[in-house]
Amino acid sequence: FVAEAVASGAIAVAGDQAPGGLPVPVVATHSPRRALALAAAKLYPRQPAVIAAVTGTSGKTSVAAFMREIWQQLGREAASIGTIGLVSPKRTVYGSLTTPDPIALHRQIDEITGEGVTHLALEASSHGLDQFRLDGLRIAAGGFTNLSRDHMDYHPNVAHYLGAKLRLFLNLVVDDGAAVIAADHEYSGQVLHAAQSRHLRIITVGRKGNGAGEGIRLVDAVIDGFSQKLTLEHRGKVWAVTLPLVGEFQIENALVAAGLVIGTGAEPEQVFATLEHLKGAPGRLELVGDYHGAPVFVDYAHKPDALAKALQALRPYASGKLVVVFGAGGDRDAGKRPLMGEIAMQNADSVIVTDDNPRSENASSIRAAILLAAKGATEIADRGEAIRTAVESLQPGDVLLIAGKGHETGQIIGERILPFSDHETAVAALTARVA
């Protein structure tokens, strides 16, 4: 490979070994990936004054979007980079990786800094952290949402997965930076310990947040239509906030975002005032329409914990049936398929199992793995047909969740990406039914 790269024009080689006989300089380093990221940071040196990164199994995209929205409301030139791509004042570029490769990432950050961006919200995936893609960035604050089973096709075990997440706090946040930690989860304590070992400024959020101190404690949450009325405690003071979003997990995401913005210098009173205007990221428990009082939501939930949270968030709105349409991705962690089937049956009244990016795998085999734990579910291979069937079944009081693809605009079959949008398909089905 090295000889081929040189023949194609590479002017230097970095590796964990130094092969001889090459006509270009060779640098031996124990971590070639990290060296690449640091070199990219030298080649593309401009960075926004404030960078905050968030990691966790679920919620990263929402937290990054919320940070960008809060900063923009506070008059900052803000951008976000993550699963949905780059969103900045001057341009939006859709992407496919939560954390881009280091050269693309540093180039993109350099460019948007030149365009005037001063505040950047960044998603830090476990792959990106494990592969050193974010090294070389001056990260002022790191956030943690939660950790549950995911990416077991990449990480050998949960300990390795957690270790990748902890790099954000152990290695990447600057020495005088902040750590914002959702405090209500199984692994929150380990993240807290990592942040304390660096003497970072600690901001815990959630029902176990340190509301008497720097944290943000959720004292109470009351559903009010498709909004929630929150009672928060921060620095011993009580705040009343209306959040125009569904689900307690979105409360947590909003509080992590608020903590990161506060942790990078904003005034709490101003930050809390922005929360009532949050819109969030596309495809994150997004209300796309309704049929005679039966709302239809699209959500990116494609892992067990996220599917459970989305269904549980919608249960209070279902005076009738809670219906879910979902599948599981091919060439990914196969172990989560029966788990998702079980969760769907436990939390929904009507379950339709369909295809969701089968990639190189046999789609029927993926569905079969889900259906092993989803006895009584309906199997409809064609995703569009599955969504139309679900919409046609709706009665007043029902709620439909279409899970798995969220913002995506393609269905990956083999090596082809066929145009497909859950959002557009649902809207078309609703329009056809009303007609």
Picking from 78, 80, 79, 88, the residue whose alpha carbon sits closest to that of residue 61 is 80
Instruction: For tokens 């914002």, name the residue.
Output: 180
Query: Quick one: CATH architecture of 38-277?
Result: 3-Layer(aba) Sandwich (3.40)
Question: Strands 50-55, 139-144: parallel, antiparallel or unpaired by DSSP?
Answer: parallel
Cα–Cα distance for residue pair 430/390, rounded to 1 Å? 10
Cα–Cα distance for residue pair 17/26, rounded to 1 Å? 9
**Per-residue pLDDT, 153:** 72
Task: Give the CA radius of gyration of the chain.
Answer: 22
Model's pTM, two decimal places?
Answer: 0.94
Find all residues with CB under 8 Å of 236, minimum gap 6, and list them: 211, 212, 213
**Per-residue pLDDT, 98:** 67
Domain boundaries, the chain: 2-30, 38-277, 286-434
pLDDT under 70 in the chain at which residues?
A: 96-98, 149-152, 155
Over the chain, what HEC string results?
Answer: CHHHHHHCCCCCEEECCCCCCCCCCEEECCCHHHHHHHHHHHHCCCCCCEEEEEECCCCHHHHHHHHHHHHHHCCCCEEEEECCEEECCCCEECCCCCCCCHHHHHHHHHHHHHCCCCEEEEECCHHHHHCCCCCCCCEEEEEECCCCCCCCCCCCCHHHHHHHHHHHHHHHEEEEEEEEEECCCCCHHHHHHHHHHCCCEEEEEECCCCCCCCCEEEEEEEEECCEEEEEEEECCEEEEEEECCCCHHHHHHHHHHHHHHHHCCCCHHHHHHHHHHCCCCCCCCEEEEEECCEEEEEECCCCHHHHHHHHHHHHHHCCCCEEEEECCCCCCCCCHHHHHHHHHHHHCCEEEECCCCCECCCHHHHHHHHHCCCCCCEECCCHHHHHHHHHHHCCCCCEEEEECCCCCCEEEECCEEEECCHHHHHHHHHHHHHC
Question: Strands 294-299, 286-291: parallel, antiparallel or unpaired by DSSP?
Answer: antiparallel
Q: Check if 38-277 and 286-434 are the same fold.
A: no
Torsion angles phi and psi, residue 110, rounded to 5: -60, -45
Torsion angles phi and psi, residue 28, rounded to 5: -95, 130
| Cα–chain center distance at 283 | 11
**Per-residue pLDDT, 307:** 97
Class of domain 286-434: alpha beta
Q: For 141-190, write each residue's pLDDT tens digit.
A: 999 999 985 666 776 788 999 999 999 999 999 999 999 999 999 999 99
